[in-house]
Structures are given as C-alpha cells and as structure tokens.
Amino acid sequence: VSRNDTCSDLPEIPNGWKTTSHREMVRGTMITYQCDPGYDILGSDTLTCQWDLTWRSDPPFCEKIMYCTDPGEVKHASRSISDTKLLVGSTIQFSCDPGFILDGNALITCYSRETGTPLWTSRLPHCAPEESVACENPGLPENGYQILYKRLYLPGETLTFMCYEGFELVGEVTIRCIIAHPSHWSGPLPLCKAAQYGFEHSLEVSETAVETSMEGGNMALAIFIPILIISILLGSAYIYVTRCRYHSNLRLPLMSSHPYSQITVETAFDNPIYETGDTREYEVSI
C-alpha cells in the first residue's frame, strides 16, 4: 500500500551522486547532492521534504569546472593576470621588486585535467634578496685571469676565464651561476697549465717554412722553364730568318744601268725673235 505522507523520490544527477537522511521520504527528510571531481554543483546541494510533501527546490546539476582557483600573491612581487576569471588557459606573470630575484617559474598557466579540477602548471615562485641567492666570485686560476671581474654574480650570469701566454686552460672556459639554496657555479674553477707543445710547435713552424720555400722554388721553376724554351725558339727563328736574308742579297746584281741613261733631249729654237723698244720677247719650242 502506497503511503501518502512522503515526498516523491528525487532523481540522480549526471556526474554526481546523492545521499538521504532517511530511508523513507517523510517530512523533514533531506537529500544532499555532490559532484564528481572536476565538476562544480549548480543549484542548491541540499533539498528538504516540506510539510506539504513537496521539495523546497529542484535538483541541482553538475557542470565541468573550467577555471583554476586564485593561487594568491607573491611577497615582494607584482603579478599580471591574462583573465580575471582564471579560466583554463589563463596565465599569471610574476615579476620581483628591485633588489629581489625570482626563484621559480615566472609564468604559470591554468590547465584542464580529464579527472579533477584544473590546476596551475607549477607552484608559486618567491622573490629572494639578491645577495642571498648570488654566487660569490670563485677566485682566479694560477697564471690566469677573469673577464669582467665582480664580487657577486646573480643567478644566470656567467664568468669567463683566460690564461696568460704560454699556458693553456684546462676545464670550462665559462661557468654560470645557478640559483639554489645556496646558489652555486655550474662547474669548478679551471686550471692554467704550462703549454707542452712549445718545441713541437716551433718544429712544425720550421717544417712548414721549409715546405713553403720548396713550393715557392718549384713554382719559380715551373714559370722559368717555359719562358726559357720560348726564348730559345724565338732566338732560333730570328737566326734562321737573318741567314735567309743574307744569302738572298748575295744573289742580287751588284750594278744596274741608270734608268735615264738613254734619254736624249733635243732643243730647237725655230721661233723668231721680236724686239719692241727695249723689250725683247723669245718664243722657245722644245
């Protein structure tokens, strides 16, 4: 026999569950709803069976959470938020105040998970005083020196070593200050050892000079010999041409008749002479 003094049963909700305070839905019975991890309940999570055998409100529902909780502030730092709602994909950029250096990730991002609520990619960083995280100068290697000498180096800064002439560096040329607690250098202090290749290097230089000299002599011979051969050929040709001309001149006649020896000129003065006063005119025919 059905009872008429109870409220109707309420349904289950997707991505959540319910619990009841009584087995029977009598007046005053409470039903509490909860959502699975990664979901947020929308609506009233607790419903009560009233005296008129009705529920105070409709059942809630569970919605996928798509935002991260506010991670909070960082002391001695400021932050820049890309989205005030902190939805999935939002970022927060931290920067330390002057005199402090950031220890940790400067940028964190809200990301979604298949199960559970979205989280930030890393924990909050913190800002430490520069001197507390700086690396002290490791000193000079014997027979060597440093580039840009300083007493303290901030995390991320580098220090470079060089050796004096006649010495070679053994180890890392450049080391970096790495932030930690305490901060430390990326490698040990290098060494400057006396160069062992001095005599061998001089011998190699001498051999190279000899080889270069021999190569220069061979090149000179390669240029001089063709020029000498060409000069000999040209000289032989000149002598041959000169001899040919000499023999040709011997065969020419020593004397020849003058081309004008047989030319005769006959002059006749057949024209009369005219005299008029003191003037005389002659007409000459040749």
CA torsion 77→124→179→149, rounded to 10°? -20
Question: Poorest-confidence range of 95-104, 127-136, 179-188, 270-279?
Answer: 270-279
Q: What is the pLDDT of residues 89-109, one digit of tens each?
A: 999 999 999 999 998 999 999
77-129: what fold? Answer: Complement Module; domain 1 (2.10.70)
Residue 218: predicted pLDDT: 62
pLDDT of residue 195: 86
Stated as kind and residue range, the H or E segment containing 133 is helix 130-133
For 170, the 3-state DSSP assignment is: strand
Q: Tell which phi-psi region holds residue 76, choosing left (phi > 0), alpha (psi between -120 and 50) or beta.
A: left
Q: Residues 237-280: pLDDT tens digits?
A: 778 777 777 665 555 444 444 444 444 444 444 444 444 444 44
Rounded Cα gap, residues 229 and 239, in angstroms: 16
pLDDT more than 70, % of the chain = 75
pTM higher than 0.75, yes or no? no
Topology (CATH level 3) of domain 134-194: Complement Module; domain 1 (2.10.70)
How do beta strands 91-96 and 152-153 pair? unpaired
- Long-range pairs of 265-269 with CB within 8 A, sequence gap ≥ 24: none
Return residue ranges of the chain for CATH 2.10.70.10: 16-64, 77-129, 134-194
Give the pLDDT mean for 217-242: 76
Lowest mean pLDDT among 15-19, 36-40, 268-272: 268-272
The predicted pLDDT at position 115 comes to: 76
pLDDT: which is higher, 135 or 212? 135
Class at the top of the CATH hierarchy for domain 16-64: mainly beta
Decide if pLDDT at 69 tops 80: yes
Spatial separation of the C-alpha atoms in residues 94 and 77, rounded to whole Å: 7
Please give the pLDDT value at position 279: 43
Mean pLDDT, to the nearest integer, of 4-25? 88
Compute the average pLDDT of residues 204-212.
Answer: 53
